Amino acid sequence: MLDIVIWILIIAFFVLSFVGIIFPIIPSVVVLWGGFLLYHFVLNPDELTWTFWIAMLVFTAILFVADIIANSYFVKRFGGSKTGERAAAVAVIVGSFITPPFGILYVPFLVVFAVEMMQKRSSGEALRASIGSLIGFLGGAVAKVVIQLIMIIWFFVVLLF
């Protein structure tokens, strides 16, 4: 019976990790690791290999920087300045705390727009860089969904084989 409860909690952690992509106040990767660690420490400490743990650490590092890298990349690609790129990276973090889940969308957009205008860019150029920020967030979110799915699938593959 305890095993069933633990499995329900593990699955809940996995589901909650995806909710964290939409509501960044929930630390997605930490919740995902909660499921892995719960399995390891409560159900079976011998099943998850060193290869699994090292791969999960690599994917975790990628997840931590996915938003920041994607946002900076698209701001730059859409003509934003280096300052706009940096501002977008900070604004993603700050925006996640202002008004979740929407702050992570509009705060970087507005910050990049303001920064580009302060750089004496035209409103069209500033708007374009801001749109890049929005596309960057969405691209980062898609990347996080894919990486988290890979992590979860890997977890179940290790358990099944």
> Domain range spanning residue 70?
2-160
Find out whether 20 and 26 touch, Cβ atoms under 8 Å. yes
pTM metric for this prediction: 0.81
d(CA 31, CA 137): 20
pLDDT at residue 141, rounded to an integer: 87
Q: How many CA atoms lie within 13 A of 85 on its CB side?
A: 12
Residue 45: pLDDT over 90: yes
Residue percentage of the chain with pLDDT more than 90: 61
Mapping DSSP onto H, E and C, the string for 117-128 reads HHCCCCHHHHHH
Please give the structure tokens belonging to residue 83: 């300052």
d(CA 113, CA 88): 10
Residue percentage of the chain with pLDDT more than 70: 99
Instruction: Identify which has the larger pLDDT, 158 or 91.
Output: 158
The pLDDT of 58-65, averaged and rounded, is 90
Q: What is the tally of structural domains in the chain?
A: 1
Question: How far from chain centre, in Å, is Cα 79?
Answer: 24
pLDDT at residue 100, rounded to an integer: 74
For 7, left (φ over 0), alpha (ψ -120 to 50), or beta? alpha
Sorting pLDDT into bands at 50, 70 and 90, what band is 129? very high
Sorting pLDDT into bands at 50, 70 and 90, what band is 71? confident
Residue 23: pLDDT over 80: no
* Per-residue model confidence as pLDDT tens digits over 73-93: 888 889 999 898 889 888 877
d(CA 10, CA 150): 16
Find out whether 75 and 84 touch, Cβ atoms under 8 Å. yes
Find out whether 137 and 94 touch, Cβ atoms under 8 Å. no
The pLDDT of 130-150, averaged and rounded, is 91
* Per-residue model confidence as pLDDT tens digits over 97-115: 888 778 888 998 999 999 9
Find out whether 71 and 92 touch, Cβ atoms under 8 Å. yes
Residue 4: pLDDT over 80: yes
